[in-house]
Amino acid sequence: MSFLQDPSFFSMGMWSIGAGALGAAALALVLANTDIFLSKSEEATLEYLENIDLKTLEKDPRTFKAKELWEKNGAVIMAVRRPGCFLCREEAADLSSLKPKLDKLGIPLYAVVKEQVGTEVKDFQPYFKGEIFLDAQKKFYGPQRRKLLFMGFMRLGVWCNFFRAWSGGFSGNLKGEGVILGGVFVVGPGKQGILLEHREKEFGDKVNPLSILEAAKKVKPRSLASENK
């Protein structure tokens, strides 16, 4: 047992523990930046989206089926992860920049939120140039809800997104639920179907605006969409 009295033995032991901890941390960082542990998404069907109950944000809210949003002219719909998030505000501003072109195509721009927290929706509206509705059951965030917790802050892409939004002058707060990931949909009128479905895979994973416009140009007049039932 004389080796227990040897200071070098303890030094080597502490070095081994430190190296092991460093190696574990490095492995965790590498794995966090792959898609292995990300929540898997499930594509929505038109039938699933059509039957979602939405509410207006008026004093006396009206409940209606989501298909009203696109039934006549199609629609672009943003499922907002959290209105107070500066990354969501950045994406909302990007989508709003497309509104003049969407208006020419006759396609409205909408957003849905999961909850109403204080003035968060009102404070979000300067960034989003379309009507906003409440999806209290969080159906637009399904069929399989995806969550990103603390691992998200270990992802290099998330920090790049943070820097991009900060550089763009966007700011926000931490109010409300923000771990259930959002997305963007382009839906054609009638039964034309879902033309684009973007699912946020990490915080700040924005949809490509060009993809939105490409999908929007595929929207058919309702008469033609009805013929293709």
160 a catalytic residue: no
- Percentage of residues in the chain with pLDDT exceeding 90? 67
- How many Å is the maximal CA-CA distance in the chain? 91
What value does the mean pLDDT take over residues 165-193? 95
Query: Does the pLDDT value for residue 86 go beyond 90?
Result: yes
Residue 150 one-letter amino acid:
F
Catalytic residue among 32, 75, 80, 85: 85
Q: Give residues with Cβ within 8 angstroms of 45, minimum separation 6.
A: 194
pLDDT greater at residue 1 or residue 163: 163
Q: What is the pLDDT of residues 51-79, one digit of tens each?
A: 999 999 988 999 999 999 999 999 999 99
Whole-number pLDDT of residue 151: 72
Residue 26 has pLDDT above 90, yes or no: no
Would you place residue 10 in the very low, low, confident or very high pLDDT band (cuts 50, 70, 90)? very low
Q: Which of 70, 177, 165 is nearest to 114 (CA)?
A: 177
Domain 46-218 has CATH 3.40.50.2300: no
User: Looking at residue 28, what is its pLDDT?
Assistant: 44
Residue 180: the pLDDT is 94
Is pLDDT above 60 for 202? yes
Q: Could you tell me the residue ranges of all domains in the chain?
A: 10-37, 46-218
Q: List the catalytic residue out of 49, 54, 88, 219.
A: 88
**How far is Cα 114 from Cα 108, in angstroms, rounded to an integer?**
20
212 compared with 153, residue with greater pLDDT:
212
More confident: 147 or 177: 177
SS (H, E, C) 37-84: CCCCCCCCCHHHHHCCEEECCCCCCCEEEHHHHCCCCCEEEEECCCCC
- pLDDT of 105 higher than 80: yes
User: What tokens does 42 get?
Assistant: 């499930």
Q: What is the DSSP letter of 202?
A: S
- Determine the 3-state secondary structure of 174 from DSSP: coil
For 125, residues 6+ apart whose C-beta sits below 8 A from its C-beta are 132
For the entire predicted model, the pTM comes to: 0.82
In this prediction, residue 154 carries a pLDDT of: 73
pLDDT in tens, 110-162: 999 999 999 999 999 999 999 999 999 999 998 988 888 767 667 788 889 99
CB 84 within 8 Å of CB 173: yes
